[in-house]
Structure 1
Amino acid sequence: MPLLRRDRPVEIQQRSGLRSRLGELEQSLTRIAPGLSSRLADTLDALRHPTRRELFRTLAAVPALFLLYVLILIPFTPSISSIRKASSEQPAQILSADGRKLTEFKQSNRQWVALSGISPHVIDALIATEDHRFYAHFGLDWRRTAAAAINSFRGDRQGGSTLTQQLARNLYPEEIGRAPTLTRKIKEAITALKIEAVHSKDEILETYLNSVPFLYNAYGIEMAARTYFDTSADQLDVLQSATLVGMLKGNSYYNPVLNPERSLQRRNTVLKQMLKRGKLTATQLDSLSKQPLRIDFERQTEPPGPAPHFARQLRKWLIAWADRNDYSIYGDGLVVRTSIDSRLQAAASQAVTRQGNSLQNIANAAWGKRSAWSTDSSLVQTFIRESPEYATAMAKGRTPAQAMQEQQADKDFMRALQRQKTRIQIGFLAIDPRNGQVKAWVGSRDFEEEAFDHVQQARRQPGSTFKPFVYGEAYRQGASPNDRLIDQAVEIDVGGGEVWRPADGTPPSGEAMTLSDGLAYSKNTITAQLIQQVGPAKVARLARQMGVRQSKLEAVPSLALGTSPVTLKEMVAAYGTIANGGGYLEPLLVSRIEDRDGRVIEEFSPQEPELALGRDVAYTLLDNLRGVINRGTGRDIRSRHGIRADVAGKTGTTQDNADGWFILMHRQLVAGAWVGFNDNRITLRSDYWGQGAHSALPVVGDFFRNALRARLIDPRARFVAPEDTGLWTRVSAWFRSLLSPDPVAEPKPPPTVKPARKQLPREEPATPAPVVSPPQTQGDPLQEKIDQILKESNEAERLPTDPSPAAQAEDSR
């Protein structure tokens, strides 16, 4: 209360000032009020008693403004040329390099049929139900539009669109839209008038019936006939035609599969409309209305083609190209000549299928055991908790224990989960290193079952296939293949109290080993020492320059053994750099694009190679990788697959056999394969089959053997050494090696840090593979000549042809 008494004089002063201002405002209004009142009165009088001129101007302004609005919208509707393209669908044809059709890029799952190939019952039902004055109007039915507008104002919304207007909406859903607004109706009407201006009534009907959707990814009357009645469009009877036409009012609401009763009622409504328009007699209507639907439903799927994963990547590229160059991949009839060789693609698919089936049998045996796939297994329980079914159970209010118990008791769920998790997957890619053209691309074992692309989408640890980047950087810095390092235990402080201890399957020998042998036998201890000398950051930079350009590489010592995930496409492209003399070429998908008349629109030739390695360094590295094939971890290429051509390559296996890799280089072709499971927590549970030498190598070996036999690549082609690696260079290198003293094994230094609580992945070798005699090639003079040339070459290069004891150590991870 004291506060209120103290503030009261201020309040009285504020009220006094407000009254003074209100008085001043009242006086001002009094002065101007007569003028305002007079003007307002004149305006009201003019509205009550307009002159003829004013009335005419007012009435003329409304249509003028409406016409102006229409004119403004015209540029925002599809052009005449666009309508011509859209209404005459000509999808892009995708051809292989040898002229075979791979696929075509259709806007939807549609089989275009001419109007003459459509049952007359369909046309009768459509016109009778949707637009009975179709042949009388020019795109707009004014009587129907006016009636629909009046009924809509009364609260009974009705559609007044003609077939031409519906076609405009179907062809251009984005430009016209589907919102119930005046702007949309005007755009629709303008587009309908344009369509009528450039097309006949029969063309409009044909386009309409081939573009209308029927659910289940079925577009057009032909796919609808196949989906719902297992017949073709020209064989549809009256009842079938009425059922499909009835769906057009609302596909989902009148879906004959999910809502048969509604569909039946709508079908009979269409039959009544046909009676009304003279297409049926009363007797026919009475008989037909009593018939059941008789649906024969089967989803229609587009054939994936021989290279579906490649086609998916190509579609993305082609859409971007078409946008830049003002073309439509669906309506311009483009002919796209790709780099794929259909024969090599077939060989790759066969190799993937064959090896995938063999490894799947091994996986089924390994994971079919009760001890491996048990509901008590912590790994299996983790898979259950990660499943959508478990999440659904939790959303229903189950406790974690109850949700787990429910899923474990569901035998169908557990079988499906086991099959999903333990299905072997394979990715394969082949590139011509001379021009970067992709020759074969297989993204998974079965595109329809697994559309995920293990060539470009999947990123997995490459294991020992990454080692050539380490040796390449060493040679770039001046090292020689004859330089030696001690095969000894290695401990590398990686910071944070952790020590990296890379190891091989056998204890270190303590002996000196050349770098070329270290790469051929995939020695982890040698590679780990080497990356310490050349620097992880420089190795990562070289890998990026050679082709690993999208994946992130961690510049840490363990990078030497392939701990940073990469894609198969990147790795094959990088090996292509080696085979191309050190020049990187971006993988090329298309060689030429033509128009529908065969005129060349654009040709795509490889760009100038980006120099990543000097030619001498690249050849030195490639020559070392020959040793992998001739005497090292990839010798099965010679012994099992009988390949005698000049090839080089590398195997790779990651921790716990989660990933198997192999990449092989020929002068005309570089091919690589990855084998594993989608979830890297699942492995083949075999130290033998889990290795890249036994999982991925057979895929590439099978492919190359068939390619060589079919002469798709030249068995006599050889990698050519640079000019500066002649006889004098070889003699100089040999002389330098004599003068260089052999290194002496140094005592192992004491650890500088405490034992690591958590170590980085260690790589351990796998069980050696049995040696199999190479297949005989008797009676082939050409093959004997090739063998003789290779034998002489090996003797000249001092490459041993028989496996040494060291060759018994298989590929390390």
Structure 2
Amino acid sequence: MVFFDSLRARTAGLCAALVRRPDSWLSAHGLLWLLAVLALAVVLYVLALIPFTPAISDIRKAKSDQPAQLVSSDGRLLAEYRWVNREWVPLSTIARPVVDALIATEDHRFYEHFGLDWRRTASAMVRTFGGERQGGSTITQQLARNLYPEDIGRAPTLTRKIKEAITALKIEWLYSKDEILETYLNTVPFLYNAYGIEMAARTYFDKSADRLTVLESATLVGMLKGTAYYNPVLNPERAQERRNTVLAQMKKRGKLASAEYDKLAKRPLRIRFERQSELSGLAPHLAQQLRRQLIDWADRNGYSLYSDGLVIRTTIDGRLQEMANQAVQRQGRQLQGVADVAWAPRAAWSARSPLVQQLVRESPQYDKAVAAGATPEEALQQLLADGDFLRRLRAAKTRVQAGFLALDPRSGAVLAWVGSRDFEQDPFDHVQAARRQPGSTFKPFVYGAAFAKGMLPTDQLMDQAVEIPLGGKQVWRPTDGRTPPSNEPMQLRDGLAYSKNTITAQLMQQVGPQQVAQLARAMGVRESRLEAVPALALGTSAVTLKEMVAAYGTIASGGLYRAPTVITRIEDKNGKLLEAFQSAAPERALGLAAAQQLRDALRGAVDKGTGVAIRARYGITADVAGKTGTTQDNTDGWFILMHPQLVAGAWAGFNDGRITLRSDYWGQGAHSALPMVGDVFRQALRGKIIDARERFIDEEESSWIATATGTLRNWVYDLFGRPTGQQASPAAVPAPEAPRAPVPAASAPPQDERPEITEAPLVPLQEVAPRAPAADPPVWVDQPDAQPVQPYAPPPAMDSAALQPATFNLDR
């Protein structure tokens, strides 16, 4: 203490003397003290900055960051959650020319210094003071800046350089030179969301980092001086010039022979550019949907989704997921061929087409041309005359899309999730995020409500022209496409099997739209808004594929709704259980008898109705039931199939609802969506994923309430007459027919997949004209939904908030 007090007193006295006599600053003694004070100030400033640099623990963690892994129930990797799009590769697997080029260009004394190259720093300062700005950072300093941009910053200030130097010294103290090189090469950014040498090699040269040549290595290392300025995709001339500079540095440092340099410097750039997907694996769409929930869970529990190596175990069956991916890709290619012909430049895709002109007006290129000063008409004509632009626009707008979802109806566990044909080309999820009109796949809710009300599958309605007044002198006239009504009685189960709009519309009148909407919500359509109007019977309200498959799961499980679930448990990187998740408790949505009657009626759609291809084409003899769906103008194709152990559904269409397949055959759900489901079911049965011997078990309701209700219902029918003129049924509601053997293909009605196109306009009541009697026998097809085409709206934003974080189920 005496020493410090003496030092403080002498320093104070010296400062006072310097203030009284300014000329003493110029003395040797004064200058010495001034330099000492300045040095002390610098030391104190550096010490003060140390707490604001990354801690030792942070630096250790940076090198050991492990992304969370989404894993299937059979242990297969579905996706990884990374901070950035990076794949870490060991230094030993990186091509040697990459390391040689990096050291020769960025830090040729890398193995001689301890994080700071004082000679290079001094040289950079001298040149900077002389007006020629030059960087003096070593590879270690660049690594510090890349790893901790927020802690260190990028502003050209003394503070930033000091913090960068401190962090570099910490890194050198913790890691060997090879570890520093490995970390640097795996973390440096290369544009296009590519981080690290491995992703850069794939992005720019379509190869892995261990196969990079000298030229390719020099090109990538050359980008490090300025990734945007030396971007080989947008600025190839600059990139080539910079590449040759790197080659010259390699020659100067003895890493490249003069003759080799002369030969390589003359070669052109050969870029094979391809963007790399951020999320890869078997189920990227599902991973994207779960990301927000998992981040919230990690934040609440003190973990990082991107660096703590969490393992999220799911209900997804890896085998079934792979089958679903392949089925969607195969059918997508088939449908794309149809779309390419239908929208060929000499067919529908013409500059004279009003739709094509409207699509051009909606493009960013049109807005850019108008903003540049062109009139709207000039911009339109300019783009219509641009063949390359029209080809790109056609490819984007006429790309067929699809979605597929499968779950276990016994638990609600999601087994497969395919959001589009290709995540890289279309990351929009057509399972959870897309809302489309479901068409005839919505009809089971109408029949389910009717059965719950006491009607029977054997009850009959007349297949006749239907006119439903809507008020305001308007009437709704649903039709069955080109197939006229037969004017013959038809059982309700056949009306559902053959997807008769006329029968369904009459049934909707008796049941009521409000009851149908209420039942649909109870069975699983819980996120989308349902309009309680008569046309709802034919699927006019847009819903998601996830909702529809969940609702059919309710039918398969005898009327019990089980919320779709995905996550089963979360573990740390060492396998320790952090949290387990249970399926939500089942909810009774539809009475057992009504659910079994509905399920049995849907067997008919597969045995003899619109889904008969499941039997005839795919040879599936198991106990299954399902329904096809096709919307107005063949805009959307649907199919959902049920088995005691598996419910799967598919949708096919385009992102823009104004684009259709323009095919009366391929546009129907029986030909666009059914093949995806049929393909997966066939493979699942062959692979023993589901048991072909399993059958739906029809049980009788044994409660006295059910018996009394049946007796009272039949007494009312006997007293006032049955609604359909049928004989009374037994007191208790009978169990549906026993599962029938599959109907041979030869005995099925002809599946004339003619256009399902029909208009159901609202017309003034007085203008309703009588219909002519049926001239031909009916042809059973999956009929269109007699609904106006809704105006196109951009797809809604992906909203993973709909997934409940508390239970990780996929239902609100």
Q: Structure 2 length as normaliser, TM-score? A: 0.75
- Structure 1's 111 and 809: CA in aligned 2 closer, same or farther, altered over 3 A? closer
Whichever residue aligns with residue 794 of structure 1, its letter is R
- 1:73-130 per-residue CA deviation (whole Å, 9 max, x = no partner) reads 35xx4x5444333313544444433334445445445443323334555445434543
Q: Distance in 1 between the 2:412 and 2:305 partners? A: 24
| 1:606 partnered with 2:580 | no
**Where does 1:241-640 land on structure 2 (aligned, <5 Å)?**
241-256=217-232, 258-259=234-235, 262-263=238-239, 266=242, 270=246, 279=254, 284=258, 291-292=265-266, 294-302=268-276, 304-315=280-291, 317-368=293-344, 370=346, 372-481=348-457, 485=461, 487=463, 489-494=465-470, 498-505=474-481, 506-507=483-484, 513-640=490-617
Aligned residues: 717
Q: Distance in 1 between the 2:685 and 2:211 partners? A: 50
User: Any conservation in 2 of the 1:318–1:329 contact (CA below 8 Å)?
Assistant: yes
| 1:70 partnered with 2:16 | no
- 1:690-719 per-residue CA deviation (whole Å, 9 max, x = no partner) reads 322333223322322222222221112122
Q: For residue 64 of structure 2, what is the aligned residue in structure 1?
A: 88
Q: Distance in 1 between the 2:206 and 2:418 partners? A: 32
Whichever residue aligns with residue 697 of structure 1, its letter is L
Q: For residue 707 of structure 1, what is the aligned residue in structure 2?
A: 684
- Structure 1's 467 and 68: CA in aligned 2 closer, same or farther, altered over 3 A? farther
Q: Distance in 2 between the 1:143 and 1:254 partners? A: 27
Q: For residue 753 of structure 2, what is the aligned residue in structure 1?
A: none
Deviation at 1:461, TM superposition (A): 0.6
Q: For residue 11 of structure 1, what is the aligned residue in structure 2?
A: none
Tell me the secondary structure at the aligned position of residue 808 of structure 1: coil
Q: Distance in 2 between the 1:154 and 1:344 partners? A: 67
- Structure 1's 61 and 481: CA in aligned 2 closer, same or farther, altered over 3 A? farther
Structure 2: unaligned runs, 5 residues or longer: 1-14, 25-29, 726-735, 742-746, 751-776, 786-812
Q: Distance in 1 between the 2:710 and 2:470 partners? A: 41
Q: For residue 721 of structure 2, what is the aligned residue in structure 1?
A: 741
User: Any conservation in 2 of the 1:112–1:220 contact (CA below 8 Å)?
Assistant: yes
- Structure 1's 266 and 486: CA in aligned 2 closer, same or farther, altered over 3 A? closer
- Structure 1's 495 and 44: CA in aligned 2 closer, same or farther, altered over 3 A? farther
Q: Distance in 2 between the 1:202 and 1:64 partners? A: 31
- Residue 650 of structure 1, aligned match among 627, 638, 649: 627
Tell me the secondary structure at the aligned position of residue 627 of structure 2: strand
Q: For residue 794 of structure 1, what is the aligned residue in structure 2?
A: 740
User: Any conservation in 2 of the 1:227–1:296 contact (CA below 8 Å)?
Assistant: no
Whichever residue aligns with residue 446 of structure 2, its letter is V
| 1:173 partnered with 2:149 | yes
Q: Distance in 2 between the 1:237 and 1:626 partners? A: 61
Q: For residue 659 of structure 1, what is the aligned residue in structure 2?
A: 636
Whichever residue aligns with residue 272 of structure 2, its letter is E
Q: Percent identity?
A: 63
Tell me the secondary structure at the aligned position of residue 740 of structure 2: helix
Q: Distance in 2 between the 1:529 and 1:367 partners? A: 38
- Structure 1's 550 and 259: CA in aligned 2 closer, same or farther, altered over 3 A? same
Moved more, 566-575 or 129-138: 129-138
- 1:416-451 per-residue CA deviation (whole Å, 9 max, x = no partner) reads 444444443322221112222222233333444444
Based on CA coordinates, which of the two structures has the bigger radius of gyration?
Answer: 1
Q: For residue 10 of structure 2, what is the aligned residue in structure 1?
A: none
Q: Distance in 2 between the 1:231 and 1:517 partners? A: 57
Deviation at 1:209, TM superposition (A): 1.5
Q: Distance in 2 between the 1:445 and 1:367 partners? A: 19
- 1:568-597 per-residue CA deviation (whole Å, 9 max, x = no partner) reads 122112212222333333333344444444
- 1:306-347 per-residue CA deviation (whole Å, 9 max, x = no partner) reads 444344435555444444444444444444443332332333
Tell me the secondary structure at the aligned position of residue 670 of structure 2: helix
**Where does 1:186-201 land on structure 2 (aligned, <5 Å)?**
188-189=164-165, 191-201=167-177
Q: Structure 1 length as normaliser, TM-score? A: 0.75
User: Any conservation in 2 of the 1:486–1:743 contact (CA below 8 Å)?
Assistant: no
User: Any conservation in 2 of the 1:527–1:560 contact (CA below 8 Å)?
Assistant: yes
User: Any conservation in 2 of the 1:616–1:725 contact (CA below 8 Å)?
Assistant: no
Moved more, 470-479 or 286-295: 286-295
Deviation at 1:462, TM superposition (A): 0.6
User: Any conservation in 2 of the 1:348–1:442 contact (CA below 8 Å)?
Assistant: yes
Structure 1: unaligned runs, 5 residues or longer: 1-42, 746-789, 796-800
Deviation at 1:611, TM superposition (A): 3.7
Deviation at 1:463, TM superposition (A): 0.9
User: Any conservation in 2 of the 1:628–1:650 contact (CA below 8 Å)?
Assistant: yes
Whichever residue aligns with residue 70 of structure 1, its letter is L
User: Relative contact order, CA 8 A, sep 6+: which one is greater?
Assistant: 2
User: Any conservation in 2 of the 1:264–1:292 contact (CA below 8 Å)?
Assistant: no
Deviation at 1:210, TM superposition (A): 1.7
Deviation at 1:191, TM superposition (A): 4.1
User: Any conservation in 2 of the 1:217–1:300 contact (CA below 8 Å)?
Assistant: no
User: Any conservation in 1 of the 2:236–2:269 contact (CA below 8 Å)?
Assistant: no
Q: Distance in 2 between the 1:275 and 1:504 partners? A: 78
Q: For residue 757 of structure 2, what is the aligned residue in structure 1?
A: none
Q: Distance in 1 between the 2:425 and 2:439 partners? A: 28
Q: For residue 718 of structure 1, what is the aligned residue in structure 2?
A: 695
User: Any conservation in 2 of the 1:521–1:807 contact (CA below 8 Å)?
Assistant: no
Tell me the secondary structure at the aligned position of residue 439 of structure 1: strand
- 1:389-428 per-residue CA deviation (whole Å, 9 max, x = no partner) reads 4444444444444444444444444444444444433222
Q: Distance in 2 between the 1:537 and 1:735 partners? A: 25
- Structure 1's 261 and 429: CA in aligned 2 closer, same or farther, altered over 3 A? closer
Q: Distance in 1 between the 2:128 and 2:507 partners? A: 81
Q: Distance in 1 between the 2:459 and 2:381 partners? A: 61
- 1:138-173 per-residue CA deviation (whole Å, 9 max, x = no partner) reads 545567667766776776554343323321222233
Whichever residue aligns with residue 623 of structure 1, its letter is D
Tell me the secondary structure at the aligned position of residue 794 of structure 1: coil
Q: Distance in 2 between the 1:328 and 1:558 partners? A: 49
Whichever residue aligns with residue 73 of structure 1, its letter is F
Q: Distance in 1 between the 2:233 and 2:628 partners? A: 53
**Where does 1:107-118 land on structure 2 (aligned, <5 Å)?**
107-118=83-94
User: Any conservation in 1 of the 2:461–2:724 contact (CA below 8 Å)?
Assistant: no
- 1:358-394 per-residue CA deviation (whole Å, 9 max, x = no partner) reads 4444444444495644433333333333334444444
Whichever residue aligns with residue 517 of structure 2, its letter is A
Q: Distance in 1 between the 2:264 and 2:349 partners? A: 55
Q: Distance in 1 between the 2:128 and 2:701 partners? A: 87
Moved more, 484-493 or 665-674: 484-493
Q: Distance in 2 between the 1:238 and 1:683 partners? A: 49
